[in-house]
Structure 1
Amino acid sequence: MTLTFNRAAYANLLADVLPQPIRSQAEYDRVLGIIEASMNKEAVSSEEEQLIDLFVILVEKFESEHYPSQNRSTPHSRLLHLMDANDVQPADLVSIFGSSDRVLEVIDGKQSIDLNQAEKLGNRFNLPSKLFLA
């Protein structure tokens, strides 16, 4: 589903959150909070989706600079985090992956998430589908 992008609405969102390079743990936590808050919304506008994309880039840059020896966020780790944060059980994802065996393979990291599944996960968690793609 493609929504109309409203530049004025996006400008207002930018003014509200004032995105900037993440240089501290406090700013990192603030940005993660904004991303998580969007997950709890029933619907995300195209402007909010664009802002989330921007924040994901900032988070990934901060993580690569400050946590280089730790595993960076991956589609698999993002899915596990979202499942935990939203109390989602593997059985809740069968409709997305087609079978409980496939769900377990993805959760165990044995299978990657394909484009169709990423789109369904994006809809399920109210986030851009590209967060679930490598």
Structure 2
Amino acid sequence: MENIRPIKTEADYDWAIAEITKYFENEPEVGSLDGDRFDVLATLIEAYEDKHYPIEAPDPVEAIHSHMELFNLSRKALAEVIGSSPRATEVLNKKRALTLDMVFKLNKEWKIPAEVLVQPYHLANDRGRRRA
């Protein structure tokens, strides 16, 4: 078993992935030497991935679209949550910003995280301005 080392290059990253993969078929016991090694490798890999392969959260409208697609929900279902069909269409087309009431309802009824829904995003007619 090779010693753990910092992940500074893609080669180091590939090595760490190969090392941690060995534990997937035979999961180590928590608190054991192998369990501790697994935890350290996972932490190093996560830190490297966060720095080199960041995943940006979707904007609120992308999050709504994704949720609708994932759960096979229609525009009508969105209209039922936020109040009206024209409003749902405007929100999905980024012609209308989400209100706090809409955010609350989407969070409560569809379980979309509020912190995703309150992120600033560009409206279609903003021309460079961001909504508050």
TM-score (norm 1): 0.47
TM-score (norm 2): 0.48
Pick 1 or 2: higher relative contact order, CA cutoff 8 A, min separation 6.
1
